[in-house]
Chains A and B, each alone.
Chain A
């Protein structure tokens, strides 16, 4: 069965976060034709029916001999990975250019829920940190079954964000994480690259692996607005700017790309995986990026 990628907008419309996370993760896993991310653990987990096209490496031939049916053995990974999901809840994350698309924060929330489910499914300990210019809430990392509900509960109650100040809050979080592990930052990184890099470097310094999901709205990339408009800053509502987007588009794109280039360069320098995504990109890509990282860590 081949399924078309489901857009973030369609998924967001489903409403319940637990269902969404499950749908995203299960759909993602089933859609992988060749799944290199299973079977690297030595602990048997369950039997599962073979689907056409799946490799025959893990087919249990004994079961086949007895039942004349193809089953494959699925192993649960044994791990001591502690992953902490850092979700940026600043006001800038509340931006969504189109009602048909989720805001960056909604996208981040769904992504965080999906990652949490995927991590827990692989018996990793998962924690959550919510912040804007300060920490807004946290769930300590655990690998218990109930942990997913704790995380989803916090994600469901995301507080209204304020101005972004990534540097200080990242430092604060870095200090609070007790053990080395995986840090997954979901943010638009709308702060000075120097401050962001400094914060991330702090994680690296404390031995954490870091994946950064930079979530942006497509309009932030191309400034594709028609007609003159007064732009209001979401983080500082008193700041407005009157502008003809068509006149400023080229220069804006140039400046924005330069900023993104700085972010990329800083992440590369600190050996941080940077996953750039937009709110119209299916979650598969983000999940795939995580699994790649996870595989390298194992």
Chain B
């Protein structure tokens, strides 16, 4: 088995072995002269001992040199049977540094990221003269630290010290793909890609790794070395916060759910709003397991409130306070777009909806949550669409190209649209154009049941925000509503919220981009359903509108996404926000960081958005002195996952992905690169022999 060194650069320290030799020679040269009365006796003594003394003197010198050589060799981390030391000293070194949130986990000394930086600096310092280095900081979006391949040296190593981990996730495949681009541009070969990571299991996706492997292979090939810096540990944290998915009104009961990873039994979690604790809960699950906690409180005053679900900080502090935004609306603008009022079945049914939402009419008092505006399908202006939080299409008939495009855009944003279509004359239009435009498959058939066969309704998804929190009596009352005429929707994989007892869906939630789309295949005139006369209809209509208006969506955004807020009142193509908008991120305890933001248009609505962010926290958008809105980004839940791949598992995954032969290095406790995973560390032996040499030297010098 070959003897190799992981830090071969330190072998230059072997020159120190020359020090005793130099001292010895200098002593010989600078020896002082002493006049003595008679050398007779000294000559006799020396004649008797000189041979032994000479041998001992050289033996002492050899022992001293041997001790120094052994210590230097031990510092260079010798290993028997390990991999070639050149793994730490290639001519071109590409360090892929995991900068995900899990790298913030604290170890006995510093964080995983600190350890990663230390071994990265060691690897850079170990580069031979003329070596080049590049570092890819693998956060949510991998980026190169240097503008190009740069010469190894103190400058490169010191630049590493300025790096910081992100609060986001890392995709090893993305990181390796970025690495492949730099490998292709490497000015010299061979290239070693040194991946330093905690190998968090959740981040390793085989398919993406395979793509990265192909990219890496296509870049001319590089040796891949893996250096794990993680150690398994159980740390509690908040993985998800669920705010009600509907618009909230001040004072109404609110339940916020939080998914937590329990760190210890009876761990206490606190919900804070605007810095004040408002609710508390304790987890009952065992350490390492997940638990769902519910925080109940009354909705605060209208406005956007910063919330945190907090627990005591542990070894991964970043997930011990998960931010969210709680939006309490003072008014929701509902735009009802309807078809002609007369002429065909179902026309005029929109009024039931308008009356249920705003019993006093559109011009209601300021204390009413809903402001309703009804427009015929031909009369809808751009301003109507831009001002509406909720769009209800009630038997609109053909939407027309412009309105259809506006609906699709709204859904591709995060807007809410409900389509009520119960006119049998619209069946063709519904199945041919409208539903496909909304991402739902046609065709449809129209069902008509006699009075005796009226279908009672079943609430299929009582936990849906439209129905969540309603008492059982309310649900049973609602279930007494019957339907006689409706379209039978095709099964398009949508979530059914309401259905007849016969199984025909009456209210489905379609998955469409970020928006919320509800489709109801009936009209609300009495010949089709008695829903409008059900006592639960007004609450149902308001909850439906509140759901479509949305709420708490900010809690879903994770670090790595671009923070964005919608601008109320900005119509498509408007130039109200012409000029630069500024984004600044405000984090507790930190100075605001001003970042550029850009104006964007989605679904006919204006947004300001920043660059994809790398830090968890609240992002406030301002334009001049005006606050445009606030967004929140939280750490990806998977980053708190304690499961780590072992080095061998990671090597196997890489091999499966097409990157065979990845080498494994190990990080020493002091931050250096220690022995390879399968090499035997000989440093303790070398130090032991050095101690023995010193002991022998001491004994011999005493005897001499």
Contacts and interface: CB of A to CB of B under 8 A. Distances in A.
Given A233-B39, A239-B39, A241-B39, A247 B704 contact: yes
B32 interface: yes
Contact of A232 (B36, B45, B49): B36
B39 A252 contact: no
Question: Which A-B residue pairs are the 10 nearest by beta carbons?
Answer: A95-B37, A92-B37, A251-B45, A233-B39, A231-B36, A190-B38, A229-B34, A230-B33, A248-B45, A255-B41
A247 B49 contact: yes
Contacts of B451: none
A234 B45 contact: no
Contact of A248 (B31, B35, B40, B46): B46
Given A229-B32, A247-B53, 7 more contacts: A225-B34, A229-B31, A230-B32, A231-B42, A234-B37, A243-B42, A259-B41
B147 interface: no
Nearest to A104: B37
B59 to A, nearest CB: 13
Contacts of A284: none
A235 B659 CA distance: 84
A256 interface: yes
Given A228-B27, A244-B53, A247-B53, A252 B35 contact: no
Given A229-B31, A244-B53, A95 B45 contact: no
Interface string A219-258: 0100101011111111100011111100110011001100
A77 interface: no
Interface in B442-493: none
Contacts of A231: 33-36, 39, 42
A188 interface: yes
A217 interface: yes
A229 B33 contact: yes
Contacts of A234: 35-38
B655 to A, nearest CB: 64
B103 to A, nearest CB: 57
Contacts of A239: 39
Contacts of B40: 190
Given A244-B53, A248-B46, A230 B38 contact: no
Interface of B: 27, 31-46, 48-49, 53, 57, 704
A247 B50 CA distance: 10
A291 to B, nearest CB: 29
20 contacts: A190-B38, A228-B27, A230-B32, A230-B34, A231-B36, A232-B33, A233-B39, A240-B39, A241-B43, A241-B46, A242-B31, A244-B53, A247-B49, A248-B45, A248-B46, A248-B53, A252-B41, A255-B41, A255-B45, A259-B41
Contacts of A220: 37
Contact of B36 (A95, A228, A244, A251): A95
By size class, the interface of chain A is 20 to 34
Nearest to A250: B45
B31 A252 contact: no
A248 B48 CA distance: 10
Contacts of B39: 231, 233, 239-241
Contacts of A230: 31-34
Nearest to A192: B40
A259 B48 CA distance: 17
B237 to A, nearest CB: 67
B657 to A, nearest CB: 67
Most central of B36, B53, B57 by chain A CB within 10 Å:
B36
A251 B33 contact: no
B134 to A, nearest CB: 56
Given A228-B27, A244-B53, A247-B49, A252 B42 contact: yes
B42 A188 contact: no
Given A241-B43, A241-B46, A188 B37 contact: yes
A229 B31 CA distance: 5
Contacts of A259: 41
B25 to A, nearest CB: 12
A240 B37 contact: no
A228 B31 contact: yes
Interface of A: 92-93, 95, 104, 188, 190, 217, 220, 223, 225, 227-235, 239-244, 247-248, 251-252, 255-256, 259
Contacts of B53: 244, 247-248
Nearest to B704: A247
Contacts of A241: 39, 42-43, 46
B42 to A, nearest CB: 5
B41 A95 contact: no
B191 to A, nearest CB: 55
B28 to A, nearest CB: 8
Given A247-B53, A251-B49, A95 B43 contact: no
Contacts of A247: 49, 53, 704
B33 A217 contact: no
Nearest to B53: A247
Contacts of A244: 53, 57, 704
A278 to B, nearest CB: 12
Contacts of B33: 229-232, 240
Contacts of B43: 241
Nearest to B38: A190
A93 B48 CA distance: 27
B300 to A, nearest CB: 86
A6 to B, nearest CB: 25
Contacts of B41: 252, 255-256, 259
Nearest to B50: A243
Contacts of A95: 35-37
A104 to B, nearest CB: 7
B32 A227 contact: yes
A93 B40 CA distance: 15
A232 B42 contact: no
Given A229-B31, A248-B49, A255 B36 contact: no
Nearest to B48: A251
A220 B45 CA distance: 14
A109 B39 CA distance: 24
Contacts of A252: 41-42, 45
A87 B41 CA distance: 23
Contacts of A256: 41
A56 B193 CA distance: 110
Contacts of B704: 244, 247
A108 to B, nearest CB: 13
Contacts of A243: 42, 46
Nearest to B32: A229
A233 B42 CA distance: 10
Nearest to A230: B33
A66 B36 CA distance: 64
B51 to A, nearest CB: 12
Contacts of B34: 225, 229-232
A233 B31 contact: no
Contacts of A251: 45, 48-49
Given A241-B43, A248-B42, A251-B48, A190 B32 contact: no
Contacts of A229: 31-34
A190 B48 contact: no
A247 B53 CA distance: 8
A33 to B, nearest CB: 37
A288 to B, nearest CB: 26
Contacts of B27: 228
